[in-house]
Chain A
Amino acid sequence: SQQGEEDPQALSIQEGENATMNCSYKTSINNLQWYRQNSGRGLVHLILIRSNEREKHSGRLRVTLDTSKKSSSLLITASRAADTASYFCATASTGLGGFKTIFGAGTRLFVKA
């Protein structure tokens, strides 16, 4: 079964609003990453937060991590139509030499202009 589960599965907002996506996971992790995927394209890395960090910012992105609740959230502020995409969380945990990364099912974000 997948490690990460995103919530909600789909989100539709107006341009300028904030979008919040959540990710829950099951086992201990080394880090958690968020990726974006435009329709029909490969995934693009957005931000990485390590297990000893609680919050991280990158431009309009804010990621939080609560290891006690095994959850993370991605906040996109002042959303734009170009933010329309699917967003995935991915957890990296110890496997063969610490190299196993597992993805969640994703949140589809639709930003209306």
Chain B
Amino acid sequence: NAGVTQTPKFQVLKTGQSMTLQCAQDMNHEYMSWYRQDPGMGLRLIHYSVGAGITDQGEVPNGYNVSRSTTEDFPLRLLSAAPSQTSVYFCASSPPLRAGGRETQYFGPGTRLLVL
């Protein structure tokens, strides 16, 4: 299995541009999520999905859209990039829920985004 893959690895955008960060997993995981990591801030949850067709907002959803049309893919869209969105973005997935809540998350390698 390839695990969780993310593309691109690096991206530079100008303010106002739009783009989609891709995330895919081949482990048949129901749960997928997007985080951003800023220096000294740890990871903050942007959006997450509990299955195809179901998404919900996390801590910092503004400026980002997601969709989940398949189990494998969970793209993150920046509609109009702003310098405040400069960050490292991580996608993660988890196997089906068992009693006791969210289990182990498997992380992708990250996408470094710079918005000028």
Q: Can you list 21 A-B pairs, Cβ within 8 angstroms, ordered by A? A: A2-B42, A4-B42, A30-B101, A42-B4, A42-B109, A43-B92, A43-B107, A44-B107, A50-B100, A90-B105, A95-B56, A98-B97, A98-B101, A99-B97, A99-B102, A100-B102, A101-B33, A102-B59, A104-B42, A105-B41, A106-B42
Given A41-B109, A99-B48, A102-B59, the answer on whether A31 and B43 have CB atoms closer than 8 Å is no
Report chain B residues within 8 Å CB of A40. 110
CA distance A104 to B42 in the complex (A): 6
* Residue among B102, B105, B108 having the largest count of chain A Cβ atoms under 10 Å: B102
Number of residues from A at the complex interface, CB < 8 A:
35
Give me the interface of B with A, judged by CB distance under 8 Å: 4, 31, 33, 35, 40-45, 48, 50, 54, 56, 58-59, 90, 92, 97, 100-110
User: Is A97's CB within 8 Å of the partner chain B?
Assistant: yes
Asked if B109 contacts A101 (CB within 8 A), the reply is no
Q: Is the interface of B mostly helix, strand, loop or mixed?
A: strand
CA distance A95 to B101 in the complex (A): 10
Report chain B residues within 8 Å CB of A33. 104-105
Given A42-B109, A97-B50, the answer on whether A105 and B101 have CB atoms closer than 8 Å is no
CA distance A9 to B42 in the complex (A): 11
Asked if A29 contacts B45 (CB within 8 A), the reply is no
Minimum C-beta distance from A66 to chain B (A):
18
Minimum C-beta distance from A110 to chain B (A):
16
